[in-house]
Amino acid sequence: MNCRSEVLEVSVEGRQVDEAMLALLHTILLHRSTGKFHYKKEGTYSIGTVGTQDIDCDYIDFSFVRVSSDELDRVIRKAVGEFKDAMGNGTDGMGQISLEFYQKKKSRWPFSDECIPWEVWSIKVNVVNLANEQERQICREKVGEKLGEKVINIVEVINQHEYLPKMPTQSEVDNVFDTSLKDVQPYLYKITFQITDTLGTSKTTWFCAY
Amino acid sequence: MDSDLSPQDKKDLDKFIKFFALKTVQVIVQARLGEKVCTRSLSSPTGSDWFNLAIKDIPEVTHESKKALAGQLPGIERSMCVEISLKTSEGDSMELETWCLEMNEKCDKDIKVSYTVYNRMSLLLKSLLAITRVTPAYKLSRKQGHDYVILYRIYFGEVQLTGLGEAFQTVRVGVVGTPIGTITLSCAYRTNLAFMSTSGLKCTACKICHYMFSHFLPYPPYSPLRTAPIMGIIIDHFVERPFGNVGHMHPCNYRLVTPGEDEGAYNGVEDSQEVCTTSFSTSPPSQMGVPGKEGGVPQQVPVQPCHGAQAEHRRVSSCPPADHVPATPSSSGEDAETSSRSVGVKSGSPWGVLETTFTRKVGAFVNKPGTQVTTASLDLPFAAFAPRAYDLEENDPMVQPPESSATSSPLQGSLHSQGSGESGGPAQDDFVMVDFKPAFSKDDLLPMDLGTFYREFQNPPQLTSLTIDVSSQSMAEDLDSLPEKLAVYEKNIDEFDAFVDTLQ
């Protein structure tokens, strides 16, 4: 199976990094989350309900929809926060945050389970510094428009209906979905990021497995 | 095409398409209400959330959708469209976008109806949730209010995009293949925002123009949001609000009904709340809209259902009943026009056939009329100061409403008269008369309002113990009367002792 890979690029001001990343990651996760599965004895299962909520950005003229799950939001915010810290506050730089959906393949002892990615979203971020308030105001609107384009791109890709893992049996649900959350069930995912410093060619990679 | 489908699959597919169409309209309209939408995730399925998504159903919107569908389903050459337009307070209107749910002939016969189609429809609704926040009309709808309002119109049939002007842009939300055709959901939105009012190229509400002009700056060529340059906008600057008399244009606070809340304001049960578990059990029979039996909001049920390809514009984020209430024959001619359009006269139902049900909620501090009470029977504060002129109640309009006493409240009386009129009814029908029952005021006993009460009791009489007459008694007289008083107290000493014992 080939892993589908999509790359999105945005240029933002330092204080916009958080919201821009949250907007795109939550838009992707909205499409890659289902309600909680409840398996029944006869082999069928029922699915819980996914709620949604509108989020207005403070530093960007943009609003997006995310899954109504505070737990999921906390996890994503934590990852984005670490990414922003790694990018440095207020400095120019480039970074990339990746959201990878994967399946687990059980292996026999002593081998560990294999994680097979089936979809990877990479968001390349270019952080810029602005000189005055007028530029910041223009940046607010421009970044908002750019994020709108990215949301459209995300929707276009997702609605191509390419590979999705098969719905698992009860014994295999943890190989496909993240069942740790109480209210929703996203596909198994991990967030990683890497930073490229403009001063040099060094790369730093952090892995944040969730 | 259909013969390849099993009867159960065909039935399921039709049901999915129907509810998908209804939910699509709900998502679009709710995204243009001007408010942030928030629904809860539920770990356990309720059986009433179609496509496993918490999308609330606004009964008016569902009603309009069903009216437009008129028992049909979106299909090939039968598209369902939701048109979003903007209307300024001066009456200028402009179509902003048109959402189209269409079907083409490309079939996917191998696809599983009860699983894949259903899940893909769910995915498409999520995409719709995301895209509705991205098109330019979203930001306009969030800022609607005094200057302009956002309207929606649902129609069925051929897609009409001419109202969007030239060089409109299109964004495709997504597609779902089914055994009978491929469902596509797309949005065409306006890019040229030059207003054309009846007086020529004149643009009202400068705030809208300034905002929209700044938003639609040219995009890079590869951008799907690229628009043509805006030309010819003439901006009028208003020093003060030019339309202070069109209060009805202001969006009301729209309360969405959630399970567990008071659903009596609108239809009690909609068939959009049919059971929709993953096992797709049979749904309860659909129910027509039933007038709410509770709540302070009137409902209207046309006797003849509306047919035809077009429904009238409905105002987004309005108090729905207000749109159904005929306008006051006020100085603004637009009110009457709006009301005649919103009432749905085109359906052929005359005013006299429309039925209204209404039940008034009893609020706080309200004394239910009809009960005979007297001051002696009530433990009222300051009851001793209450004027005993009960005959004043007969002449008090607060106690005896001007209408016939057959109606239990003046509001019901006015609503009945509304239903019997042809063209709009009396002027007070548009105003909800609320019997103001302030604290400390019981209109059947103390016929006074708060102001009168305050004035009456602002200067209470002095206590007798503090009057001059008492203080004028001389000390000598007090001393002389002491022995006599002491003798009386000694005589009743047993009584005093018993009283002291009760206190211990």
pLDDT: which is higher, B143 or B469: B143
pLDDT digits (tens, 9 = 90+) for A28-37: 999 999 999 9
Mean pLDDT of B484-503: 91
**How big is the A-B interface in CB pairs under 8 Å?**
131
Residue of B nearest to A147 (CA): B134
Largest distance between two CA atoms of chain A = 65
- Among A49, A52, A54, the residue with its CB nearest the CB of B46 is A49
The pLDDT of residue B382 is: 54
* Spatial separation of the C-alpha atoms in residues B327 and B332, rounded to whole Å: 10
Contact (Cβ atoms closer than 8 angstroms) between residue B101 and residue B24: yes
pTM > 0.80 = no
CB contact under 8 A, B45 and A145: no
Burial of B47 (0-12, 13-18, 19+ CB in 10 A): middle
Q: Taking 80 as the threshold, does the pLDDT of residue A196 lie above it?
A: no
Q: Which of B134, B172, B225 to mutate to test the interface with A (most CBs of A within 10 A)?
A: B134
Give the pLDDT band of residue A162 (cuts 50, 70, 90).
confident
- Among A46, A48, A145, the residue with its CB nearest the CB of B219 is A145
The pLDDT of residue B219 is: 40
- Crossing angle of the two packed helices B7-30 and B118-131, in degrees rounded to 10: 10
The pLDDT of residue A41 is: 77
Side chain identity at B306, as an amino acid letter?
C
Is the four-CA dihedral A170, A173, A179, A182 of positive or negative sign?
negative
Tokens linked to B281:
């059990």
Q: Which of residues 147-176 of A touch B (CB under 8 A)?
A: 148-149, 151-152, 154-156, 158-159, 161, 167
Contact (Cβ atoms closer than 8 angstroms) between residue B31 and residue B56: no
* Spatial separation of the C-alpha atoms in residues B452 and B461, rounded to whole Å: 17
Residue of B nearest to A152 (CA): B131
* pLDDT over 70 percentage in chain A: 91
Query: DSSP secondary-structure letter at A130?
Result: -
Give the pLDDT band of residue A204 (cuts 50, 70, 90).
low
Side chain identity at B181, as an amino acid letter?
G
The pLDDT of residue A208 is: 53
Cα first-last separation, chain B: 96
Residue showing tokens 């006299």: B352
Of A53-67, B440-454, B488-502, the one with minimum mean pLDDT is B440-454
Q: How far is B76 from chain A (nearest CA, A)?
A: 21
- Among B39, B224, B279, the residue with its CB nearest the CB of A149 is B224
Largest distance between two CA atoms of chain B = 119
Mean pLDDT of A84-98: 79
User: Measured between CB atoms, does A23 come within 8 Å of chain B?
Assistant: no
* pLDDT over 90 percentage in chain B: 27
**E-assigned strand segments in A155-201:** 184-186, 189-196
Give the pairing type, strands B299-301 and B355-357. antiparallel
Give the pLDDT band of residue A53 (cuts 50, 70, 90).
very high
Residue of B nearest to A70 (CA): B41
Q: Taking 60 as the threshold, does the pLDDT of residue B355 lie above it?
A: no
Give the pairing type, strands B169-178 and B79-88. unpaired
* Chain A residues whose beta carbon lies within 8 Å of the beta carbon of residue B139: 61, 63
The pLDDT of residue B381 is: 55
pLDDT: which is higher, B157 or A55: A55
Respond yes or no on whether the N-terminal peptide bond of residue A110 is cis (omega within 30° of 0).
yes
Residue of B nearest to A49 (CA): B52
Give the pLDDT band of residue B110 (cuts 50, 70, 90).
confident
Of B124-133, B356-365, B489-498, the one with minimum mean pLDDT is B356-365
Is the four-CA dihedral B194, B199, B205, B210 of positive or negative sign?
positive
* Chain B residues whose beta carbon lies within 8 Å of the beta carbon of residue A64: 130, 133
Render B334-398 in DSSP notation, one character per residue: HHHHHHHHHHTGGGS--GGG-EEE--PPP-TTPPPTT----TTTS--TTGGGS---GGGGGG-TT
Give the pLDDT band of residue B386 (cuts 50, 70, 90).
low
pLDDT digits (tens, 9 = 90+) for B227-282: 433 333 322 333 333 333 333 322 332 323 333 344 444 343 344 445 564 443 32
Q: Taking 60 as the threshold, does the pLDDT of residue B404 lie above it?
A: no
φ/ψ region of B370 (left if φ > 0, alpha if ψ in -120 to 50, else beta) reads left
Mean pLDDT rounded to a whole number for chain B:
64
User: Measured between CB atoms, does A39 come within 8 Å of chain B?
Assistant: no
Across-strand partners of A67? Answer: A52
* Spatial separation of the C-alpha atoms in residues A21 and A28, rounded to whole Å: 11
Of A103-112, A117-126, B152-161, B306-315, the one with minimum mean pLDDT is B306-315
Residue showing tokens 């305050």: B454
Of A1-15, B306-320, B421-435, B463-477, the one with minimum mean pLDDT is B306-320
pLDDT digits (tens, 9 = 90+) for B165-218: 888 999 999 999 999 999 999 999 998 766 544 443 334 444 444 444 334 433
Q: Which of B126, B142, B216, B258 to mutate to test the interface with A (most CBs of A within 10 A)?
A: B126
Mean pLDDT rounded to a whole number for chain A:
88
* Of the candidates A21, A175, A52, A122, the residue with the CA atom closest to the CA atom of residue B122: A52
Q: Taking 80 as the threshold, does the pLDDT of residue B436 lie above it?
A: no
Mean pLDDT of B40-61: 90
The pLDDT of residue B175 is: 94
Q: Which of residues 95-134 of A touch B (CB under 8 A)?
A: none
Burial of B478 (0-12, 13-18, 19+ CB in 10 A): exposed
DSSP, collapsed to helix, strand or coil, labels residue B149 as: strand
CB contact under 8 A, A159 and B41: no
CB contact under 8 A, B45 and A35: yes
The pLDDT of residue B430 is: 56
The pLDDT of residue B390 is: 44
Q: How far is A54 from chain B (nearest CA, A)?
A: 5
* Spatial separation of the C-alpha atoms in residues B83 and B161, rounded to whole Å: 9
